[in-house]
Amino acid sequence: MNVKNINVENPPHYQLFDSIESIEIIAHAMTVEQYRGFCLGNILKYRIRAGKKDDALQDIAKADQFEILFKKYCHLCWDYEVNNNGKQENI
């Protein structure tokens, strides 16, 4: 499923500065395990509520986006290098 729109991939209300999104600050503040839990919680939230608040396809796309965001920013977690030796993480 590939619903591409600004509300899924790059919501402007999460853009703090020209080059920094809130998800990057969240990742910096957490361990890899905490960030994994944060992303997994959001995946579950959007899948469970699919179609109840927003369009169901948009909610599923948002859930899918959190898996992408985890992989994209887990290297920013403060313990990433210590615990993962630079390996790619999966949810």
Is 70 exceeded by the pLDDT of residue 1? no
Q: What pLDDT, on a 0 to 100 scale, did the predictor assign at position 3? A: 47
Q: What pLDDT, on a 0 to 100 scale, did the predictor assign at position 51? A: 92
The tally of domains found in the chain comes to 1
Q: What pLDDT, on a 0 to 100 scale, did the predictor assign at position 55? A: 92
pLDDT tens digit sequence for 8-24: 877 776 677 778 899 99
Print the domain residue range for 30.
Answer: 21-84
Q: Is residue 89 part of a domain?
A: no
Residue 3 burial (10 A CB sphere; 0-12, 13-18, 19+): middle
Q: What pLDDT, on a 0 to 100 scale, did the predictor assign at position 58? A: 93
Distance in angstroms (rounded) separating the CA atoms of residues 77 and 49:
28
| Dihedral pair phi/psi, residue 15, rounded to 5° | -85, 115
Q: Is residue 31 part of a domain?
A: yes
Cα torsion at 4, 52, 68, 6 (round to 10°)? Answer: 30
Q: What pLDDT, on a 0 to 100 scale, did the predictor assign at position 86? A: 62
pLDDT tens digit sequence for 57-87: 999 999 999 999 999 999 999 999 877 666 7
Q: Is residue 2 part of a domain?
A: no
Angle ∠(49,50,52) on CA atoms, nearest 5: 65
Global confidence as pTM: 0.81
Q: Is residue 14 part of a domain?
A: no
Place of tokens 């608040």: 53
Q: What pLDDT, on a 0 to 100 scale, did the predictor assign at position 27? A: 97
Six-digit token string for 2: 């590939």
Q: Is residue 71 part of a domain?
A: yes
